[in-house]
Amino acid sequence: MSIPLLPSWPPSLPSEAVSYLSDQATDYALAHGIVYRPVALSPTTAPALDSAIHAPFSLLPSPFPRALFDRAQSIQPAYDLLYAQVSSDHTFLQRVIGQSVIHVDEFQKQLWDIYISVKDDLVQPLSLGLFRSDYLLHDAASEGEKGSRSGELELKQVEFNTISASFGALCTKVNGLHRHLASTTDYLGAHEQLKSLDNLPLNAAQEVLIEGLAKAHAAYNATAQAYVLFVVQEGERNAFDQRPLEHALQAQGIRVVRQTFAEIAQRMSLTGQDRKLLLAHPVLGEIEISVVYYRAGYGPSDYASAKDWETRKQLERSRAIKCPSIAVQLAGAKKVQQVLAEPDRLEPLLSTIGMENKVNEMRETFSDLYPLDTSPLGQKGYELAQTEPQNFVLKPQREGGGNNVYREDIPGFLAQLEAGEGEKGAVAKRQAYILMSLIKPPAGLGNYLVKAATKDARAGAVLAKDTVSELGVYGAVLFENGAEKVKVHHHRSGGYLLRTKGRESDEGGVAVGFSVIDSPLLI
């Protein structure tokens, strides 16, 4: 595939032009709900509910190869169905998770214990997956530390998200921001390709997520007015990425209620043989729940006590459709990603779902992935982690960012795992991680990052001269287990998230301040 050269970025703009565009963009962001709640004044207080700041965004869209953008879109349906199939394959999950990860990862063990205890006693056969597959551009020409925009670019998958795939609303709005600036200012003539809206693809991410939730609600077939339950974190700053989904559902006549695990524990009950999920809401009264949509529950910190785990179990047992189910969440473990990259693992699964024609395209997105167990591949991975750590990242079975170990920190981290343990214990602890070759994004790309003022930084556009952009593609699939393969009731893929950060940051979280929300300028 021929990939055009990416232009040097950003184009030259005088300071007055940057300020003008930044002012226009900031007002657009505030007017269109591209906002966060501000950081709490102290660790012991919640964010203020009556004020907001704009979410971080890029002033200009970032160049991205059109052919690779299209490829990411074209293979998303296969990825959606693949992970739906994995979640329905108990034998696969038992081998990959039940016989490995849970022995060294307490969080995964808690999920697995719930999965095992309920899998043969489910009253709701349907599951909803709202997925996002994340990619980086890899510059094959940079292997010799040359670093270029040479056209030897490849699309490499970072991870596949099966729970709380966020920013579908905000990324749609930032796409609108960039299209607004292009159509009203031509970006002051900064670059020829910024003048054409055809290079700024419309973003259907929010629509894909909303349609998935609406289809699940309809499939629940409530006899009375039922609500979609958003399970949220206490003091959520990113509520305005969630509220647009809620408001769009409500515009269709589908009511939504937001609750934390603690609130659900106090108010929930399962009634009847079909275990209808009811909430005794203090204002709304007793309400029935059709869909449980998790925007919390993806990490250990969301489960403060055994009571929270029991709440998750009871939600899983209920008639409500889960997004995701425990099985779908387990399918998103990094260990699954690593196993799928092994020889001959992907092919039979894709054949089962009729997507065998996508094998080569999907494999081309895989980085080198290794277990850290006693298998020959695991032993090779451990050796590479010790001898060539600068080329790798160590990943645990976690969502949400901030959990990885990078480059030269890897040998010392592994040594800590092994300290005071015999070889058997050391190997066991290592199995909680996978080793992934580092993706090397092209050099020569920067952007103006626009952030709200904090105690550490001023407001406005700041030039980041060396940036990295990560592309995510969304998918929604409503399915149930079949005798051999999943039975699909609704499936739609599309929309995208582009996050951009300074190259010096290994982590990519927007909410925690590392990245800004961006959109692609297709080249």
pLDDT value for 401: 61
Which one-letter DSSP state was computed for residue 81? H
Strand pairing class (460-464; 447-451): antiparallel
- Rounded Cα distance between 263 and 260, Å, is 5
Contact 81, 88 (CB under 8 A): no
pLDDT value for 513: 54
Which one-letter DSSP state was computed for residue 95? I
Contact 435, 369 (CB under 8 A): yes
pLDDT value for 492: 98
DSSP run (H or E) holding 439:
none
Contact 79, 363 (CB under 8 A): no
Compute how many other C-beta atoms are within 10 angstroms of the C-beta atom of residue 22: 17
Catalytic position from the list 499, 508, 515, 519: 499
Contact 228, 290 (CB under 8 A): yes
Strand pairing class (255-259; 226-231): parallel
Q: Where are the domains of the chain?
A: 15-367+439-522, 368-438
Question: How far, rounded to the nearest angstrom, does the alpha carbon of residue 102 sit from its chain's CA centroid?
Answer: 22
Mean per-residue pLDDT, 433-448: 94
| Binding-site residues from annotation for ATP | 159, 334, 395-404, 406, 436-439, 470, 501, 507
pLDDT value for 426: 52
pLDDT value for 482: 85
pLDDT value for 453: 82
Q: Which residues contact 386 (CB under 8 A, 6 or more apart)?
A: 411, 414
- Rounded Cα distance between 3 and 154, Å, is 9
pLDDT value for 145: 45
- Rounded Cα distance between 328 and 349, Å, is 15
Residues 279-317: pLDDT tens digits?
999 999 999 999 999 999 999 999 999 999 999 999 999
Task: Judge: domain 368-438, CATH 3.40.50.300.
Answer: no
Sign of CA dihedral 84, 88, 94, 98: positive
Catalytic position from the list 399, 430, 447, 495: 399
**Separation in Å, CA 328 to CA 70, 83, 291, 331:** 26, 7, 15, 5
Catalytic position from the list 166, 175, 318, 325: 166
Annotated catalytic residue 360:
no
Which one-letter DSSP state was computed for residue 432? T
First to last CA, the chain: 14
What pLDDT band is residue 429 in, cutting at 50, 70 and 90?
confident
Residue 146 scores a pLDDT above 50: no
- Rounded Cα distance between 323 and 400, Å, is 17
| Binding-site residues from annotation for Mg(2+) | 159, 161, 399
Catalytic position from the list 37, 319, 322, 334: 334
Annotated catalytic residue 148:
no
Contact 244, 169 (CB under 8 A): yes
Mean per-residue pLDDT, 485-502: 97
Annotated catalytic residue 407:
no
Annotated catalytic residue 399:
yes
Catalytic position from the list 37, 142, 159, 494: 159
| Binding-site residues from annotation | 132, 159, 161, 163-166, 236-238, 242, 295-298, 334, 395-404, 406, 436-439, 470, 499, 501, 507, 510-511
Catalytic position from the list 37, 132, 156, 312: 132
The residue whose two tokens read 């995964």 is: 108
Residues 192-222: pLDDT tens digits?
999 999 999 999 999 999 999 999 999 998 7
Which of 112-116, 223-227, 354-358 is predicted with the least confidence, judged by mean pLDDT?
223-227
- Rounded Cα distance between 62 and 194, Å, is 10
Mean per-residue pLDDT, 339-343: 95
Annotated catalytic residue 481:
no
pLDDT value for 142: 67
What pLDDT band is residue 48 in, cutting at 50, 70 and 90?
confident
- Rounded Cα distance between 64 and 112, Å, is 39
| Binding-site residues from annotation for substrate | 132, 163-166, 236-238, 242, 295-298, 499, 510-511
**Amino acid occupying residue 402:** G
What pLDDT band is residue 425 in, cutting at 50, 70 and 90?
low
DSSP reduced 3-state for 440? coil
Catalytic position from the list 299, 400, 460, 513: 400
Catalytic position from the list 37, 215, 319, 395: 395
What pLDDT band is residue 147 in, cutting at 50, 70 and 90?
very low
The residue whose two tokens read 């629940």 is: 220
DSSP reduced 3-state for 497? strand
Q: What is the DSSP string of 352-387?
A: HTT-GGGHHHHHTTPPPEE--SSSHHHHHHHHHHHH
Mean per-residue pLDDT, 361-385: 94
Compute how many other C-beta atoms are within 10 angstroms of the C-beta atom of residue 284: 11
What pLDDT band is residue 486 in, cutting at 50, 70 and 90?
very high
Annotated catalytic residue 146:
no
Annotated catalytic residue 145:
no
Annotated catalytic residue 499:
yes
Instruction: Provide φ and ψ at 9, rounded to 5°.
Output: -140, 145
Annotated catalytic residue 395:
yes
What pLDDT band is residue 509 in, cutting at 50, 70 and 90?
low
- Rounded Cα distance between 96 and 17, Å, is 54
Strand pairing class (447-451; 433-437): unpaired
Compute how many other C-beta atoms are within 10 angstroms of the C-beta atom of residue 228: 26
Residue of 328, 40, 47 lying closest to 165 (CA atoms)? 328
